[in-house]
Amino acid sequence: MFEIEKEYLDSHEVRLEVTFEDEVVQQAMRSVAREVSREVNIPGFRKGRAPYGKIIRYVGESVILQETAEDLLEDNYTKILEEADIEPYGPGEFEDMSTDPLAFTLRVPLQPTVELGDYESIRREWEEADVSDEEMEQVLAQLREEHAVLEPVNRPAEMGDEVYGNVRGTVEGDVIVDEEDVEMTLSEETPFLSEEFAKGLVGASEGETAEFSATLPETIEDPALRGVECDFEVQVMQVYSRDLPELDDALASTVGSFETMDELRQDIHDRIAESKINQAREAYRNAIVEELVEMSEVEYPPLALEEALDSLVEETERQVRRNQQMALEDALRLQGQTMEMFRQNLEPEAERRVKRSFVLSEFANQEGLEVTEDEVVQEYSTMMTSAGLSEDDLDTIPLSSEIGRSLRNGILGRKTLERLEAIARGEAETAESGEDEGEEGEAAAEVEGAEEAPEAAEETEADIEEKPVVEDEEAESDETVPAEDEATEDKTDA
């Protein structure tokens, strides 16, 4: 029916030259011509009754041949891949066609190949997180500030007071701040805007307008204004003294459901410790993943990188719309960038994500890591109940749905990182012992976009429905481990 010539390319793709036998082409052209004759009025013949020669002369042989070529390629694409004995990563790309004989040139991306290094040799010391007295005191000081008692005073403002008034700020005549009814804390530790701004209000009384200059802090949102000197006019409406509460049982009961200050201190200690452990684990896992990637060899087609770039652009688009209420292209235009320049700048991060994702996928496969249906259902239940829904309101989740695949990805990602961490800490069983238990790994080869696994338990149902399957951000360093590959498309992009 057809002959195939293969050429493997350095880009981890294969070029296929597919030549159809003339007899097959002629038969297909007659079939196409019959279909055309049923749709076209050919003078002297009823629809569907015109002879082949008349149809060719009336419609044009090139038109019939073009449609024939499209049909042959579409109908036989899967068979072409099977006979070529290749496993595609995604849809192939049409490159060229010749007509005598009818032949196609296709470019097909190949499944990534990963050769893991000796990951069982990875070792990294785990450092326990300690909570210092200084950290405890910082949190307690913040609690006192948050629960300060305000009393109006008839005197000039002092450091430690709170000033209520209207603020106007200009830079070289341009108004950058014009706000009314602003509450401003005059504090060296947690000042409003900056300590320099707070000191500019010291000495101002109710009914007065304080005029002073202050350098804008580096933390200000607009990068163009960071470190710039701004002229302020602050109309003081009221000055309040701030009386900080004592660190006693009364404050503890005000902060939460604590009966004693000791209970509050223990809760603060536990929360700080948990936060530091999570941060340490994220850094630890990132380090060992990078070590695993560094010792492994990965080959993948350009399509994988393009998909990762698309995912990064989509993430940025959502962030820009959420934070700046504008389209990404408009935001880039304000920065003097084009979308092409932006994508080029994202390539290193996209390449990093692709490599990590494929390496972790192969690691999960070799370690025999699995996700059961019960685990997915439980994850879904936890996610929805955390969003405020009762179990009676939960629908049965289709495991093959986008939500099901996303949850499965997240669970597999966590298991993968937990396993790699156990190896690095010297707490894992050997691969041989795992094989003795008869564990079989799931094939994990589908890249679902950006590498982060979704924090399913923290998303509402609406959030899940509007998100593509992936990632997000590396919550607790959970990498997205690609899910089991779906059926490859049977058509080329052509």
pLDDT digit string (tens) for 299-331?
A: 999 999 999 999 999 999 999 999 888 999 999
Task: Name which residue leads in pLDDT, 2 or 403.
Answer: 2
Q: Is the pLDDT of residue 492 over 80?
A: no
Band the pLDDT of 40: cuts 50, 70, 90. Answer: confident
Q: Is the pLDDT of residue 261 over 80?
A: yes
Burial 162-187 (b: 16+ CB within 10 A, else e): bbbbebbbeeeeeebbeeeebebbbb
Assess contact for 266 and 252: CB atoms under 8 A: no
This prediction's pTM: 0.69
Residue 377: the pLDDT is 86
Residue 398: the pLDDT is 64
Task: Name which residue leads in pLDDT, 259 or 469.
Answer: 259
Residue 430: the pLDDT is 52
34-38, 73-77, 194-198, 380-384 — which is least confidently predicted? Answer: 380-384
Task: Name which residue leads in pLDDT, 31 or 467.
Answer: 31
CATH topology for 149-243?
A: Chitinase A; domain 3 (3.10.50)
CATH topology for 2-110?
A: Alpha-Beta Plaits (3.30.70)
Q: Is the pLDDT of residue 226 over 70?
A: yes
Residues 440-487 have pLDDT tens digits of 334 333 333 333 433 333 332 333 233 332 333 333 334 433 333 433
Nearest-CA neighbor of 440 among 363, 373, 369, 362?
Answer: 369
Q: How far is residue 190's CA from residue 201's CA, in Å, rounded to a whole number?
A: 15
Residue 403: the pLDDT is 85
Roughly what angle, to the nearest 10 degrees, separates helices 22-39 and 61-84? 130
1-5, 9-13, 127-131, 249-253 — which is least confidently predicted? Answer: 127-131
Residue 438: the pLDDT is 40
Domains 2-110 and 149-243 share a fold: no
Band the pLDDT of 285: cuts 50, 70, 90. Answer: very high
Give the domain ranges of the chain.
2-110, 149-243, 299-477
Average pLDDT of the chain is 85
Residues 80-138 have pLDDT tens digits of 999 999 999 999 999 999 988 999 999 999 999 999 999 999 999 998 889 999 999 99
Residue 452: the pLDDT is 40
Assess contact for 298 and 355: CB atoms under 8 A: yes
Assess contact for 441 and 362: CB atoms under 8 A: no
